[in-house]
Amino acid sequence: MSDRLPLNALQAFETAARSGSFAAAAQALGVTATAVSQHIRQLEAQFGKQLFLRRANGVDLTDAGRDLFLRVSGAFGELAEAAAHLKTAASRPRVVISVIPSVSELWLLPQLARLAVRHGAQIIEDSHDPVDFSAKGIDLRITYGAAAYPHQPVEVLFHDRMLPVAAPAVARGLPEGAAGATDALLIHTAWGPTYANPQSWAGWHEAMGSPRRPDVGKGLAVDRLVIAATAARQGLGVALLPETLAAADLARGTLVAVGPAAARMPLPYVMVARPAARLRPSVEPIWQHLLQRP
């Protein structure tokens, strides 16, 4: 049997593994689903391993398939990186970090401010998972929950509870803290359709053992946590923020806690590495720095 690598078959495998479907892989590659299936059979015959479990509505990687995916996806990513390097030369970022909105400003930037060498980093905000690491040259992805990345290296950054915060002037007018704030003074965040269990003031009161369920229609409603934090800093009311995301404001004194942290979030915030055998040398220091507990 030839030891030459069947690159077309490996590309078909990598695309099918990312999309979870031979049909989707075929569409992405501009070939037929039959061609993708033939490529996969070729690889399975060459390696003597079953790479996918076939289902009626898609495919799942086997253990052998997951191992191959990590290596192949990383290799394709490095090929894309090499091509990008030839195009951009000296202007290429040392590290590209993809991050969900709000976490970039409330947590990532304060963390990078503590890093001695941070020049050459590029930050891309993206609210949708999974991201395409290869197409965008992404080294690290910071997001909420790891379900979209079952075959990639993942590290938990922090697992938060919700903390009520307000500007110091507002806090001084709340002798009973957030529990005594009127509905009109509460800032509500719409977490969006991607969150199965969005955190809310009703959930915080429930976690505190209170029967109160604030009327969302009477308070200020925003669609991002960073806007909720900004509104609270401006004295527009009391915001409910993940405890770790509020830490930088609490340290500066621009916000103060007006109640205990409660209502633990269902999933942790995580950092995902690009599929590869190892991190690029320029990425490793930032990876290790961000893994330090905030």
Topology match between the domains 7-69 and 161-264: no
Residue type, 20: G
The pLDDT, as a whole number, for residue 1 is 43
Sign of the dihedral through C-alpha 159, 201, 169, 173: negative
**Domain 93-157+268-291, CATH homologous superfamily name and number:** Periplasmic binding protein-like II (3.40.190.10)
| pLDDT recorded at residue 267 | 92
In whole angstroms, give the CA distance from residue 285 to residue 289: 6
pLDDT of residue 104: 95
Strands of 93-139, DSSP E: 95-99, 121-125
CA distances (Å), origin 201, targets 21, 22, 237, 266? 40, 44, 13, 16
| Chosen CATH of 7-69 out of 1.10.1040.10, 1.10.10.10, 2.60.40.1730, 1.20.1050.10 | 1.10.10.10
Domain boundaries along the sequence of the chain: 7-69, 93-157+268-291, 161-264
**How does pLDDT run across 87-117, given as a tens digit for each residue?**
554 555 678 999 999 999 999 999 998 887 6
Would you state the pLDDT for residue 258? 98
Phi-psi region at 292: left, alpha or beta (left = phi > 0; alpha = psi -120 to 50): beta
- What mean pLDDT, rounded, does the chain reach? 88
Between CA 165 and CA 241 the distance in angstroms is: 7
Which carries the bigger pLDDT value, residue 278 or residue 45?
45
Q: What are the tens digits of pLDDT across the range 140-174?
A: 999 999 999 988 889 999 999 999 999 999 999 99
For residue 74, the model assigns a pLDDT of: 72
Longest dimension (CA), the chain: 78
pLDDT, tens digit (0-9, with 9 covering 90-100), for 214-235:
999 999 999 999 999 999 999 9
Mean pLDDT of 173-191: 94
% of residues, the chain, pLDDT over 70: 89
Q: Between these two residues, 56 and 242, which has the higher pLDDT value?
A: 242
Q: What is the architecture, at CATH level 2, of domain 161-264?
A: 3-Layer(aba) Sandwich (3.40)
